Amino acid sequence: MSAGGFCKLPNGSVVVALTLPSPVESGGAVRMIVHSANRARALTRLRNLGLRAVYLRGNAEPPTPDEVTAVLHHPDGLIWRTAPNSLQELWHPIRALRR
């Protein structure tokens, strides 16, 4: 269950969205949103956090406008929340997932 996509912003940077299995034993999934200069750098940021088998194949689930806005307003440029998206759940910084 790994799906994702990207969108290119007017300034040339990209926002990548990936739905990945949760790293905790809950059996759920998380939606990760990354803002970076290009797709390769966005995936490298995730791999540097320990998510080694992260690949973006296709553009089946690109980030929604809400996700783009959320990641652009976050200082780290890397956020997540459980998937499927719950409207009551707020976006979390990546350090909250790594705990």
CA neighbor of 8 nearest in space, from 32, 42, 31: 42
Contact between 48 and 64 under an 8 Å Cβ cutoff? The reply is no
Q: What is the end-to-end Cα distance of the chain in Å, rounded?
A: 23
| Amino acid 58: pLDDT | 85
Query: Does the residue 99 lie in any domain?
Result: no
Instruction: Count Cα atoms within 13 angstroms, Cβ side, for 5.
Output: 11
Query: Does the residue 97 lie in any domain?
Result: no
- Please give the tally of structural domains in the chain: 1
Share of the chain residues as helix, strand and coil, in percent rounded to the nearest 5: 25, 30, 45
What confidence tens digit (pLDDT) does each residue in 28-63 have? 888 899 999 999 999 999 888 888 778 888 898 999
Query: Does the residue 47 lie in any domain?
Result: yes
